[in-house]
Amino acid sequence: MKNKTRLLIGLMILISYSVFPQWIQQSLPGYNNVVLGIDFINQNHGILGGWYGGIPYISGNAFYTNNGGINWVAALIPDSMRVIVEVQMINDSLVYGAGAYNLIPGELSTESKINGKYLNHEQRNYSEFIGMDFSGQQDYRGFFVETTNGGLSWHPKGSFGDSVYYLIGLYFVDPQTGYVIASGPGSSSNALLNTTDGGNSWHYVLPFQEGIFIRAIRWFSGIGYMIYENSILERVFFISTTDGGATWTSPIQPGLLSASKVAFANEHTILISGINNQFKGTLVMSTDYGISWQLLRSYDNKHNVAGVDAVWNSNTLLVYGLYQSTSFAYLYIDISIDLGNNWNYSGLPQFRNYMAYNSKMVDEQNWYLIGTIDLQQGFVLYTDNTTIKEGEKSVAVSFQLYQNYPNPFNPVTTIKYSIPIASNAKLEILNILGEQVELLVNETKPVGSYEAIWDASNMSSGIYFYRIQAGDFLQTRKMVLMK
C-alpha cells in the first residue's frame, strides 16, 4: 500500500509540474521599491535598473548578474541618481541607461503629486511607477549614464537642457548612434533626441509637443519606427522614417486608445499592448512593417494588460498584467508559440499585487518579469520555460479536465482543461446540491490548453464541484474551499 501511495504522490507532483508554469522569484540585495529596466546580453549576464524610496529622497539603483540571476549584485551609481528607467546592453562591457538625477538632496517620494496636463489614468499610473513628482520637477533632470565594466559601476555622460526632466526610454543602433525619449515639464509631452557620439552630445529629432507621448522607438536596416500616443485625440499612432527622422510617414492608427508596451518579433512584425475604445486590454499586431494591423488578443475588464514581449526571430509571444478580482489582484501571463494563433493563459494567484512593468525574453527558454509589489518592493521573476513548452506540446492529445490547483484552496484556485478539437466548452461551478453557482466558460474554444481562475471570495467553506462539457466530453471533479 505504501508503494502505491508513493507512486500516486509522484504522479501528482509530475502532473502539477508539467501543467503549471514554474516562476521563481529571484532575490535582490538592499532596498528597492520598483524594478524598471532589464536587459541581458546572453543567458548569464544581465542588468537591472530602478529606484527605491529611501529617506529622505528617492534614489536610483542598478544590479548586475553573471549567472542568470541566481545572484544579483548591487552596482555603484552616481549619488545623485534618482532613477534608472531603462537599460540596454551593447556588449558584454558597455551598457547604457536612461533616467533622472536629483538636483537637490531631500527630494521626497512620489506620493500622488501628479498634476500633469493631458494625462489619462494609465499615464498617471505610469508616471507613479517611474518615480515622477510633478510638483517637485524643479528638483530633477534627465540623466544618461553608462557602464564600461559590465555593470559594476556607472557614470554620467552628456547633458540635456532644463526642459528635459526625465529620460523614459532609449534605443541604440550601435555603440555610437542612439536615441532617447525625454519627458518635459508637467509630463504633458515627450521629445525624441539622438546622439552619434555615444551619448556625449544630444540633438532634437522631434521637439516637445503637447499631448504627444512616445512609447517606443526602434531602428532596423536604416528604417526607424515610432509608436506614440496622442492623448488629446486619444489615439495611438505608428510612423516610420528612412532619413534619420528628418521626415516621417503619415500616421497609421493600430486601433488603440493608449499603449502600454511595444515588442518586435522581427523587423516586420510589431506588437502593441494597450487599451481599445471599449477600455479593455488589447493586443494588436502588424506583420507588414506597420502598414496594416490586426486584433490578436482581447481581455475583459478584470485584466490590466501591462505589456507584451517576443523572442526575436521567433513565433513565441508573452502577454502579462494584473488580474483584478473582487477582493484582490494577482499576476497573470498569456503565452503563444505560434504568433498568436493559439494561447495558453495562466493565472498566478501566488503573486498577489505583483505589478509587472517590464520583461525580457532572452531566448526560447529564459524569461524574466520585473516590477513592484504595491510600489513598496521590487521583484524579479524567472522561468526556464521548460514546463510551458511541455504543456503546450501535449494539449492536443485528448479531452482533459485536470484537478484544480491548489486544492484545498482559499479563496482562488486554477482549473486547467485541454481541448483536442475545436468545441463549444462549458465550465461551471456547482455546489454540493448540484446547483450552478458560477459559469466560468461558455464559448467555442480552438485546439489548445486553457486555464480558468475561480475566485470564491464570496462563497462559504465546503465542497464544490467543477464540470466541463465540450462536445461529447463530460467530466466532473471535486474541490474543497477551506477558509
Q: What is the mean pLDDT of residues 285-312?
A: 94
Q: In angstroms, rounded to a whole number, what is the distance separating the alpha carbons of residues 71 and 68? A: 8
- Does residue 426 surpass a pLDDT of 50? yes
Q: In angstroms, rounded to a whole number, what is the distance separating the alpha carbons of residues 203 and 307? A: 30
Locate 30 and state its grid cell: 538592499
- What is the tens place of the pLDDT at every residue in 9-30? 333 323 333 334 589 999 999 8
Q: What is the mean pLDDT of residues 461-473?
A: 91
CB-based burial of residue 300 (10 Å sphere; 0-12 exposed, 13-18 middle, 19+ buried)? exposed
Q: Phi and psi at residue 126, in whole multiples of 5°?
A: -60, -45
Q: How far is CA 188 from CA 35, 170, 239, in A?
A: 24, 19, 20
- What is the tens place of the pLDDT at every residue in 169-179? 999 999 999 99
What pLDDT does 445 receive? 85
Higher pLDDT, 400 or 56: 400
User: How many residues are given for the chain?
Assistant: 483
What pLDDT does 438 receive? 95
DSSP SS3 for 389: helix
Q: Which amino acid is at 135?
A: S
From edge to edge, which strands make up the β-sheet containing 203-206? 166-172, 178-183, 190-195, 203-206
**CA–centroid distance for 425 within its chain:** 29
User: Does the bond joining 411 to the residue before it have cis omega, within 30 degrees of 0?
Assistant: yes
- What is the tens place of the pLDDT at every residue in 201-243? 999 999 999 899 999 999 999 999 999 999 999 999 999 999 9
User: Does the bond joining 408 to the residue before it have cis omega, within 30 degrees of 0?
Assistant: yes
Among candidate residues 329, 273, 385, 366, the one with its CA nearest the CA of residue 43: 366
From edge to edge, which strands make up the β-sheet containing 448-455? 400-401, 412-419, 448-455
- Does residue 136 surpass a pLDDT of 70? no
Neighbours of 53 (CB within 10 A): 18
- Does residue 54 surpass a pLDDT of 80? no
Neighbours of 321 (CB within 10 A): 23
Q: Which domains does the chain have, with CATH numbers?
A: 23-393 (2.130.10.10), 400-481 (2.60.40.10)
Decide if 306 contacts 261 (C-beta within 8 A).
yes
Helix (H) or strand (E) holding 129: helix 121-129
- What is the tens place of the pLDDT at every residue in 88-135? 999 999 999 999 999 865 444 443 333 444 444 455 567 778 888 756
- What is the tens place of the pLDDT at every residue in 410-424? 999 999 888 877 789
Q: What is the mean pLDDT of residues 270-298?
A: 95
What pLDDT does 19 receive? 35
The predicted model scores a pTM of: 0.76
Q: Of all residues in the chain, what percent carry a pLDDT higher than 90?
A: 65
What pLDDT does 134 receive? 57
* Span between the terminal Cα atoms of the chain, in Å: 32
Of 79-93, 129-143, 284-298, 390-404, the range with the lowest mean pLDDT is 390-404
What's the half-sphere exposure (Cβ side, CA atoms, 13 Å) at 373?
Answer: 11
Neighbours of 68 (CB within 10 A): 18
- Does residue 289 surpass a pLDDT of 80? yes
The whole-chain average pLDDT of the chain stands at 86
- Does residue 56 surpass a pLDDT of 70? no
What pLDDT does 482 receive? 93
Q: In angstroms, rounded to a whole number, what is the distance separating the alpha carbons of residues 371 and 306? A: 10
Q: How far is CA 34 from CA 272, 375, 381, in A?
A: 23, 6, 13
Q: What residue ranges in 248-396 does DSSP mark as E strands?
A: 258-264, 270-275, 281-286, 294-298, 303-310, 317-324, 329-336, 344-352, 354-361, 367-373, 377-383
Q: What is the mean pLDDT of residues 455-475?
A: 91
